[in-house]
Structure 1
Amino acid sequence: MDTIIIAYWTQTGNTKAMAEAVGEGVETAGKKADVRHISEVSMDRLREAQAFALGCPAMGAEVLEEGEMEPFVMEVEGFAQGKRIGLFGSYGWGDGQWMRDWEDRMKAAGAVLVGREGVIASEAPDGDALEQCRALGRELASL
């Protein structure tokens, strides 16, 4: 597993910045990062990966983006058993419930979450959030 896929959906660019930081962490740890918007991700490659990261901001009433990301995550749930998955994303309101719900879904699908919890940032990620993303990338690369 020399390449770690970091798949994300973004509206304002905040989650993309987080995805890029996860990728920096992967590369710092000596692996190749493949950072892509979910529309560019090969589901076959993701299915073959033992570890990867998914990023999405909170939308609406603290849910995943429903047009593209929700169907993507539903497909991932079908093969998540035993996969090591890191989650990340930004939010502008609420308290991060969308991430807790997402974590629960991935665990229920049999995934092993990388890190104790998903990395979240309020609005644009600050230095601390970006460092948490880099740490997530390093942990993914160490698996």
Structure 2
Amino acid sequence: MSKVIVAYWSQTGNTEAMADAIAKGIEEAGKQPEVLEVSKVSFEDLKEATGFAMGCPSMGVEELEESEMEPFVQEVEKFVSGKNIALFGSYGWGDGEWMRNWEERMTSAGANLVDGKGLICQEAPDDTVLDELKKLGKKLASI
């Protein structure tokens, strides 16, 4: 059983719950999820992976969290070309500009986005969003 990394940063627990839902989908697809806070992720493991998931909520003026997630994403941009990735996160206000910007960064770096876009929800994920996240995890695991 091969593993699929789900890297996330969460302040309130909403994005962590989203990461756990993706992990359930990965498991249902027959692979082993490894759900890790970004501070605990090995870049070497990500470099070796054919795909992985990254999650972060919108912070400030619709941007990624600056102290841990932004430096993490900057490093990932260096080696993400050709990899299949899933992006996800939650937000409290705005229209999702932060996710559109993140999608653009990853595709410009050569990543293939699962479903062609990130998956976002406002505040805590409800059952519908959790089901969508499980489906996203299954798709990621099957690529």
TM-score, normalisation: structure 2? 0.98
- The residue number in structure 2 matching 1:132 is 132
SS state at 1:89 partner: strand
Residue 116 of structure 1: how far off its partner (Å): 2.7
Q: How does 1:59-78 map to 2 (within 5 A)?
A: 59-78=59-78
SS state at 1:90 partner: strand
- The residue number in structure 2 matching 1:45 is 45
- The residue number in structure 2 matching 1:9 is 9
Distance in 2 (CA, whole Å) between partners of 1:66 and 1:89 is 15
* Partner AA of 1:10 in structure 2: S
* Partner AA of 1:84 in structure 2: N
* Partner AA of 2:51 in structure 1: A
* Partner AA of 1:79 in structure 2: F
Residue 2 of structure 1: how far off its partner (Å): 1.0
SS state at 2:116 partner: coil
* Partner AA of 2:34 in structure 1: D
Distance in 2 (CA, whole Å) between partners of 1:75 and 1:128 is 32
Structure 1 segments (4+ residues) deviating >6 Å: none
- The residue number in structure 1 matching 2:88 is 88
Residue 128 of structure 1: how far off its partner (Å): 1.1
- The residue number in structure 2 matching 1:104 is 104
* Partner AA of 1:109 in structure 2: A
- The residue number in structure 2 matching 1:21 is 21
TM-score, normalisation: structure 1? 0.98
Distance in 2 (CA, whole Å) between partners of 1:80 and 1:26 is 20
RMSD of Structure 2 on Structure 1 (CA): 0.8
Cα deviation digits, residues 25-76 of structure 1 (max 9, x gap) = 0000100000010111111101111100000000000000000000000000
SS state at 1:139 partner: helix
Residue 103 of structure 1: how far off its partner (Å): 0.2
Gaps of 5+ in 2: none
- The residue number in structure 2 matching 1:123 is 123
Distance in 1 (CA, whole Å) between partners of 2:126 and 2:99 is 18
Residue 129 of structure 1: how far off its partner (Å): 1.0
Equivalences, count: 143
% identical aligned pairs: 59
SS state at 1:58 partner: coil
